[in-house]
Each structure stands twice: as C-alpha cells, then as structure tokens.
C-alpha cells in the first residue's frame, strides 16, 4: 500500500459517459508526484496537438499530489491543466480550500476529463464510487446557489463542490474554476474549458485518509509550524491576508497603477490589507457596517483567507464569497485608479459568484480605462459607461457585464488582447499581456527577473512561478540560511539581470514548479520567507511517502521536468522564442512617480538576459525549445520523440 496517495487516476470521456481507472505504479508517482507535472503527463500522452481549446478534444486534468490531505499546513491544493482558451498555449492554475483534501479522501489522485456531455452534468465522487448526474437545473446558476443545491440534493453538508460559474458556461476566456464559492483556480481560462464540456461541477466526499509513512515526524514538522507562525515572516500574511502586500509594493514602487503607468498609487492606504482589517473595527464601532473574518484551507494554521461582509451602503457584500486577495485589490484598485474598498470587495464577489479570474478581469478593465482616457474609446463603445480613471461604479458594472457577456462586456470577455484586435484604433499600445494573458500586480520594471519569467513562462505572465528579486537583493540577509542551502551566496544589486541573478531565477523557478507539482502552497513552503524552507519540504515528502532517498535535488528536478514538459507542449502548439515577449509599454514608457520614477526595461539587456536564461535551461537559444539531451536527462525521451528532436 503506498503512503500519501491512492494510486488511482479516474478517466472520464464525457462524450459517451465512459469511466476507467488507471492504477500507476510507484515509479510513476516518483517521476511526476502530482499537480502540474502529473497533469502534463496526461496532456502530452493523450491529447493530439492543435486541438480547439473549447472543443471536446481538449483534456482537462484536475490533479492532487502525493502530499494532498496529509495533516500539515499548505497541502490541500489542486492543479487544473488544459490547453488555454485565453493563450492557445498550456493552461495551468491552482486553488486551495477543502475540495482537494476531500477528493483525496474519496479515493482518487486525479481526474482526467475529455469529450463533451450532450447536456449539462455534474460528477459525483464518493468513497471510490462515481457517477454523472443531470445538471440542467444548475446551468446558469451562480456558485453559491449551485453549492447549496448540490449539498441539499445529495443530503450531506460536508460535500465539497468544485464548479464553473455562468462565466465558464458562456466561454469567458478568463473564466476560473471555483470551489467553496470563494477559492479560484482562476488563471488561463480553465473554467471556460470545463464549461465547454457541459461539466458544471465535481462534488466530492470521502472518509478514507491516506496512510502516512512516518506520522510522528509529520506531526513534529506540523507542530513546529504552528508554534513558529507568529514569529515567522508570514505573520503579517496570516493577520492581514495577502492584501498586506499593497503597502510593501507601494513602498518599493511596484504597485501597478493606472494600467502600469506608475508603480505608486497616492490613495494606496484606502485599499491596503491593514485598512481592510481596521475597517472591521471602525465599521463595528459605527454600527457593524463591515465585518471581516479569516478562513483557511484544510489543516492550514496560517488562515490567510479573508471573509468580508458589508451589510449596508452602496455596495453590500456577501461573506459567502470571501474577500479580496492582493492581486484583486491591485487589479480592480490601483490598476484602474480605484480607491473604493467596498467597490473592490463587490467586484471580488461578482468574480467568485460567476467564476471569473480577478487578475485578468481587473487588468482587462484597466486596459479599457486607459483606452478611454486616451480618447480611443468613448461612451458610444462602452454602453454609456464613463471609464475615467478611478470610476469605481463603472468598474463594478463592467465586471458584471464581463461575467455575463453583456454589451461591451462581451468584447472584454475575450481578454484584452483579442479586444484590442477587435477595436483597433491603436489600443494595442495599452496591453499589459504576455502570450495573451494579463500581467499580475508585480512589476518587472522593478523586479527585473520577472521580465524574464513573465515573457518565458509557458502559461503567460505569472507572479507565482519564481521567487521575486528582493530575496536575492536587499532582503538576502533575512533568508541567507535557506538560500545558501540552494547554493545562493552572492546577493545581487537591485535591478540586476546578471547571470548569477538569472541562475537564482531559474533555480527558484524550478522550486516553485516543484511546489505546483507537489501542490504545496507557496505562502507556506518556499526558498526564502515562507513558513517552511527547502530542507523542510524534503522532510515533509519523506515523512508522508517514506521515500528517504528523496532530496532537494530530486525536487528541483521534478520542477525542471514540469517546466520542460510545458515548454514541449507549447512547442507542439507552434510556440517558440518569438512568443516570449513583454508588453511594449515596459520598454517604451518610463514609470511615473515614487521610488520607481523613470524606470523602464532596456530592450537589449532583456534580450541578452533571455539568451542567458535559455542557456541555463539547456534549451535551444534561437528557438527557446527544450533540447533532446535535456528531455532525455529528465526521463522525457517520449516527449522528445513527439517533438521530432
Ligand atoms: S497559507 Fe492561505 S492559501 Fe495557503 S494553504 Fe494556508 S490558508 Fe490556504
């Protein structure tokens, strides 16, 4: 009996309701371990190139890892992977909550879904059993409604529901997959893929915990985390949520403002995590207008999730849909010049109700705001909405119009890059996208290694794919012990794109890539400021699985394997170095105001950094495609064969 995992993968073809169970051996789990790497195995193995992302041939994988469901913080996460309808490249997104652990307890490690049901269905998995159930009565309903109906009709309040909202049904290209009505695998449009299959939801319930090889050791590591949280570098995250990052990014000039024209927002305090926290007290003393609470994922002591309730005023907010993360606060806030906290909380609620990625949604609205403020759009284009910077009411209305594909929202639901092509008039100049995906709220003009990551990342601009620069710059002393275990001893000057900085970038990218394959939360585990460091991650894997030969190098190789599989997938789809681009604005337009005033990216330095990065990856420098030698070294000969290398 394996420890940590079920050795069972559930395959479903929705076109004919056919189920099968695959039972891979230990070698498979050692090679791929779970999450993104495991999902990539099935996409590369079972899906031909060039399928239509919203067609039945696309395969959607929902994958757990060998660690999911173990009794320690930061392990209850799920990876969704498919070809992205937003980018046409690989799509990949993670979410936490209780659903991942519950699926593990129900007896499976992953679900591989292909085909399309001829009418709406949902999948019900419980203690090793599975069935498709009619979902026509759920179609068009919001996430909170669907969750309530499914729990009631199956007669168990402990059921966890993962689903697409109406936005996924309507093919919003950045629709997310939602669980608990407030946890989103938001990025790359995988909710639209699930909706295109007529699969409304996956409900799970299980009662069998995975066995743990060394329970005493795992308990000891878990207890250390509980005991040390308040003194750790994530104590602020625990208390204020990720929105605490607003003040940090404002002070370092990397809070995207007015669609990335500035790195500082003069009204930042209105949208900071501490303000959200303090508003509770203020709201309570003024008649309980606001209420904020904390929520968590299965077995996690950090409890970083916010719950916001606003019971009166212009924007009321239902606590069932959670509260805004930092990215949400920035994209609907400073990105659009909006300083209305209640409006941002409302936009967050709409996204979770309808199943929309808050990053792409907020950033796409910000693109429209800039086009409007530059005179390229008028109220005739926007159904009468005034998109003057800072207009909170229009931001909230547009969010709902996108989620429901109404009027001007129908164009924006295509994503900013397609919208710019449809509208023209020079609006392409305002795009903040890489491979068609809108950039998150960390600025490569300031954190220079993100220029390389945003450009080369297989699933488009992403902020959770590497450790950010300050950890190997001015903050190095704080994390020196952990970074030294990874071979990093020479802290770099700020804004450096030196070879040593890029070596750090790639090594940390491999670690984050491994975390997305182990499905570990990147706030809890990582190379620097997280609760647990690299040595602890190795210990957790050993304690859960009993694989005492696993070391840091094995995990780094896992991350490298996943990254190479994704680049190989993209190569099959026709992507190469020509697609590894940044928004033109990052090169052409210097930031205005604050500590990052005047900063932009030097084009030659960036191209040289790409050369260096590809050499460090052992990929072809001209094409950016993995070499046969690298793929063979990672045990991916079969992938090299597919690429005809
Ligand atoms: S740190 Fe936050 S997001 Fe991560 S597992 Fe814990 S509660 Fe979930």
- Evaluate if residue 285 carries a pLDDT over 60: no
339 Cα: distance to centroid of ligand 1 (angstroms): 26
Q: What's the rounded mean pLDDT across residues 446-457?
A: 98
Ligand 1, closest atom to CA 522? 4
Nearest CA to ligand 1 atom 2: 304
Say if CB 238 and CB 302 are below 8 A apart: yes
> Could you tell me the pLDDT band of residue 311, with boundaries at 50, 70 and 90?
confident
Whole-number pLDDT of residue 288: 47
> Could you tell me the pLDDT band of residue 313, with boundaries at 50, 70 and 90?
confident
Whole-number pLDDT of residue 261: 98
164 Cα: distance to centroid of ligand 1 (angstroms): 22
Nearest CA to ligand 1 atom 8: 297
Residues in Cβ contact with 386 at an 8 Å cutoff, skipping those fewer than 6 apart: 379, 394
What are the structure tokens assigned to 117, written together?
């049901």
- Evaluate if residue 277 carries a pLDDT over 90: no
Q: Is the pTM of this model over 0.75?
A: yes
CA dihedral sign, ordered 112, 74, 357, 139: positive
597-627 tens-digit pLDDT: 999 999 999 999 999 999 999 999 999 999 9
Q: Which residues line ligand 1 (CB under 6 A)?
A: 73-74, 96, 296-297, 300, 302-305, 521, 523-524
Stronger pLDDT, 307 or 536, i.e. the higher one: 536
Q: What is the CA radius of gyration of the chain?
A: 23
104-130 tens-digit pLDDT: 999 999 999 999 999 999 999 999 999
| Candidate from 297, 299, 307, 328 with most ligand 1 atoms within 8 A of CB, to mutate | 297
508 Cα: distance to centroid of ligand 1 (angstroms): 20
- Evaluate if residue 280 carries a pLDDT over 70: no
Residues in Cβ contact with 281 at an 8 Å cutoff, skipping those fewer than 6 apart: none
What are the structure tokens assigned to 358, written together?
């808050």
Q: What's the rounded mean pLDDT across residues 340-352?
A: 96
Nearest CA to ligand 1 atom 5: 74
Whole-number pLDDT of residue 332: 98
363-381 tens-digit pLDDT: 999 999 999 999 999 999 9
Whole-number pLDDT of residue 286: 53
Ligand 1, closest atom to CA 97? 8
Average per-residue pLDDT for the chain: 96
| Candidate from 300, 324, 519, 531 with most ligand 1 atoms within 8 A of CB, to mutate | 300
| Candidate from 72, 95, 524 with most ligand 1 atoms within 8 A of CB, to mutate | 524
97 Cα: distance to centroid of ligand 1 (angstroms): 8
Residues in Cβ contact with 286 at an 8 Å cutoff, skipping those fewer than 6 apart: none
Whole-number pLDDT of residue 294: 84
Q: What's the rounded mean pLDDT across residues 207-228?
A: 97
517 Cα: distance to centroid of ligand 1 (angstroms): 16
């Amino acid at each position: 009996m394996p420890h940590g995992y079920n050795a069972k993968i559930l395959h479903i073809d929705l076109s004919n309701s056919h189920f099968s169970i695959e039972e891979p051996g230990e070698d498979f789990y050692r090679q791929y371990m779970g999450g993104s790497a495991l999902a990539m195995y099935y996409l590369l193995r079972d899906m031909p190139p060039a399928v239509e992302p919203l067609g039945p041939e696309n395969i959607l994988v929902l994958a757990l890892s060998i660690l999911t469901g173990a009794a320690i913080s930061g392990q209850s996460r799920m990876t969704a992977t498919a070809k992205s309808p937003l980018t046409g490249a690989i799509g990949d997104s993670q979410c936490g909550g209780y659903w991942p652990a519950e699926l593990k307890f129900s007896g499976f490690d992953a679900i591989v879904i292909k085909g399309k049901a001829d009418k709406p269905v949902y999948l019900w998995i419980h203690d090793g059993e599975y069935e498709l159930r009619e979902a026509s009565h759920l179609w068009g309903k919001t996430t909170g409604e669907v969750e309530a109906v499914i729990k009631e009709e199956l007669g168990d309040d402990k059921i966890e529901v993962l689903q697409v909202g109406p936005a996924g049904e309507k093919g919003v290209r950045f629709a997310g997959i939602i669980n608990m009505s407030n946890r989103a695998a938001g990025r790359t449009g995988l909710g639209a893929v699930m909706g295109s299959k007529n699969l409304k939801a996956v409900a799970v319930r299980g009662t069998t915990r995975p066995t743990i090889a060394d329970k005493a050791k795992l308990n000891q590591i878990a207890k250390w985390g509980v005991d040390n949280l308040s003194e750790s570098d994530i104590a602020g995250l625990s208390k204020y949520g990720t929105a605490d990052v607003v003040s940090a990014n404002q002070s370092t000039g990397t809070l995207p403002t007015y669609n990335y024209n500035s790195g500082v927002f003069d009204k930042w305090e209105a949208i900071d995590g501490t303000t959200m926290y303090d508003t509770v007290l203020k709201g309570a003393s003024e008649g309980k207008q606001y209420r904020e609470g904390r929520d968590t994922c299965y077995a996690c002591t950090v409890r970083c999730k916010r719950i916001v309730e606003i019971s009166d005023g212009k924007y009321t907010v239902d606590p069932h849909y959670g509260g805004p993360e930092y990215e949400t606060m920035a994209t609907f806030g400073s990105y659009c010049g909006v300083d209305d906290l209640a409006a941002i909380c409302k936009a967050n609620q709409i996204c979770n109700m309808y199943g929309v990625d808050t990053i792409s949604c907020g950033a796409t609205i910000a693109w429209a705001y800039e086009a409007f403020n530059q005179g390229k759009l008028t109220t005739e284009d926007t159904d009468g909405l005034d998109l003057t910077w800072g207009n909170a009411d229009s931001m909230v209305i547009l969010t709902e119009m996108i989620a429901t594909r109404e009027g001007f929202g129908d164009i924006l639901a295509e994503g900013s890059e397609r919208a710019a092509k449809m509208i023209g008039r020079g609006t392409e100049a305002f795009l903040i996208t890489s491979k068609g995906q809108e950039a998150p709220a960390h600025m490569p003009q300031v954190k220079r290694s993100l220029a390389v990551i945003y450009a080369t990342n297989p699933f488009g601009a992403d902020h959770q794919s590497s450790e950010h620069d300050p950890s190997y710059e001015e903050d190095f002393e704080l994390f020196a012990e952990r970074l030294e275990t990874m071979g990093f001893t020479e802290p770099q000057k700020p804004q450096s794109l030196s070879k040593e900085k890029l070596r750090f970038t790639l090594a940390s990218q491999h670690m984050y890539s491994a975390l997305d394959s182990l499905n570990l939360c990147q706030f809890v585990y990582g190379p620097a400021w997280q609760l647990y460091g690299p040595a602890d991650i190795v210990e957790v894997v050993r304690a859960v699985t009993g694989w005492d030969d696993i070391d840091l190098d094995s995990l780094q190789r896992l991350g490298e394997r996943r990254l190479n599989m994704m680049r190989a997938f993209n190569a099959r789809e026709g992507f190469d170095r020509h697609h590894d681009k940044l928004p033109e604005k990052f090169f052409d337009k210097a930031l205005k105001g604050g500590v990052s005033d005047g900063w932009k990216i030097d084009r030659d330095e960036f191209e040289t950094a790409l050369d260096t990065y590809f050499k460090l990856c052992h990929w072809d420098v001209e094409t950016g495609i993995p070499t046969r030698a690298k793929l063979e070294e990672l045990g991916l000969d079969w992938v090299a064969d597919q690429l005809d290398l």
